[in-house]
Copies of this chain bind each other. A is one copy, B any other.
Amino acid sequence: MLSKADAEAVRAQNRRLVIDHFRHQPVSTRRRMSAVTGLSLSAASSIASDLVRVGILSESEPVDRQRSRGRPEVGLHLRGAAASVAVLKISVGEIAVSLADYQGQVLAALRRDVDLSALSADAFVALARSVLSDGLETLSPQHGPLRQVVATVQGVTDGAERRIIWSPILKPRGIDLATPLEALTGARVRVLNDCGVMPERFRWGNEIGSPDFAVLFIGFGVGMGLRLSGRTFRGAQSSAVEFGHLNHIPGGDLCRCGNRGCIEAYAGDYAIWRAAKGASPSLFEKRVPDAAMKDLADAAREGETAAVLAFERAGEAIGYGLGRLFTLMDPLPVVFIGSGAEAMDLLEVSIRRAIKASAIDGIGADTPFVVMSDVDKVTLEASTTLALAALDEAFSTAASGPVEEAAE
């Protein structure tokens, strides 16, 4: 719905613009900011001074001391101590926490090995609280107040970003994680699907070179995050984009989710293993070790037929899925990540062949693929970026000083 605009909205929008500039240009000056944003020098200066006053920006020595003549420019950058954010990554064997300041500097990181498989909802929440709590202990008063927490988990989360509707790594369903963590921290907490946030990792860079792209995780499961027209896609009611459970073949192989024919049932670690080794379906109760998958990939590289076929089948499932996605929303560059992405040499040909077979005119069969490593790092960075972006938004619209008032 449209909403009315007034002078306050103008200021908010321009503050947003300025803060966003510092996400792209960590150290800048009033003058440069004016040029980049298109704001007049006066407006840019006024907003900058305002933000310094309320503690969102800091002034510092300029970096660029090449130009000799003239009054030296005053360096400006986001003030780390303006606030801090926490991200919580809940995955199969562990819970990881990472803290960052407003500038994006990582303040602390820790992880705890846990077995979530048998926990009740309450026990799980208590465990999450405890791990997050441990992380917060490392925050000292010199750090800014914790303002945002982002928790990610494999599975489906709700559209309000508060509950875990369903996760393959948890027995109970519909767990409200946001409320107890908000009670613990006093900060805003958002609960999201882990793959869904991944595109955020590229929010402020231009690594992909397109405002539209997909991030495809292939590992113990298969998941996707979409960025469309520069916005990370989320469904209205849930985290959506359940690419791993996009049906590949009606009535096909059995998937962890209980349905038949999901992409994951062909391309997840357990599915590739199952296809190559003829293991029983109950295999997906536990993870296939990364090392075992590596060995399997090596076997395929050496030409072992069953292994080769298993990877080809996986590539075909992924390719048909991408072809279907492209049919619905045009071809996108795809970032591959996760242990499965390590085997891209075994998958790429069949992926592209399947896209060709399933998309109109074979469109998208030549879309750019990017392979990235270190999923854990990418996920944590993505969550941190999302948390910081939410803070930016809050700081933009806050009528008065959002952090601390003038007198200090």
Contact = CB atoms under 8 A, between A and B. Distances in A.
Interface in A221-251: 228-230, 233, 235-238, 240-243, 245-251
Contacts of A361: 166, 257-258
Contact of A329 (B235, B259, B360): B235
Interface residues of A, number: 62
Nearest to A316: B250
Interface in A90-118: none
B250 A357 contact: yes
Given A5-B9, A10-B5, A257-B360, A328 B327 contact: no
How many monomers of this chain does the complex have? 2
A324 interface: yes
A360 B263 CA distance: 12
Nearest to A226: B328
Contacts of A257: 360-361
A2 interface: yes
Given A228-B236, A324-B324, 11 more contacts: A4-B17, A4-B39, A9-B13, A233-B329, A237-B330, A247-B357, A247-B358, A250-B354, A257-B361, A258-B361, A260-B357
| Shortest Cβ-Cβ A-B pairs, 7 listed | A235-B330, A5-B13, A247-B358, A5-B10, A240-B330, A245-B360, A242-B327
8 contacts: A2-B13, A2-B17, A4-B38, A9-B13, A229-B236, A243-B327, A247-B324, A324-B324
